[in-house]
Amino acid sequence: MGKTYQSVVINAPVEKVWGALRNFHDLSWASGVVTSCTPVGDLNADQVGARRIINDAFHETLVELSEVDRTLKYSIDDGPSPVSKNEVKNYIGVVHAIPITDDDTTFVEWSSSWDQNDAAVYEFCHGIYCAVLGELKKTFS
């Protein structure tokens, strides 16, 4: 199984950070990386089964959203190589926002896993998630 893990500390309370992350149809806070996020279908951004297309390339589905744990899980159903549906199976991404109570900041971790242990998938995804987390940090700085 392949996997990747990234994390960042955001200088904002968890409620604000989670408010941005939980909206599956809005990645405007990552405008330096995400040029478009198009909702697909009629489900709201916080409903399991909601779908989106990112940058006209990544087809994703929300598979879990927990307000209590401040966690969302999504699948990549198709995308460019090396994460196309013909190359990767069972791709799941997990985003988790955790309060740091000492100074009212937020620890955000973003991990993903997939069936194949392919270095190309790791390098591709790790770079994207590091950039997206960097955008999140800039949004709240």
Q: What is the CATH number of the domain that holds 91?
A: 3.30.530.20
Q: Look at strands 2-10 and 58-66 and give their pairing.
A: unpaired
Q: Which residues of 122-131 are buried (b: 16+ CB within 10 A; e: fewer)?
A: bebbbebbbe
pLDDT at residue 117 is higher than 80: no
Residue pLDDT, tens place only, 17-51: 999 999 999 999 999 999 999 999 999 999 999 99
pTM as predicted: 0.94
Write out the residue range of the structural domain in which residue 126 sits. 2-139
Confidence of residue 134 (pLDDT cuts 50, 70, 90): very high
Number of domains in the chain: 1
The per-residue pLDDT of the chain, averaged, comes to 96
pLDDT at residue 112 is higher than 80: yes
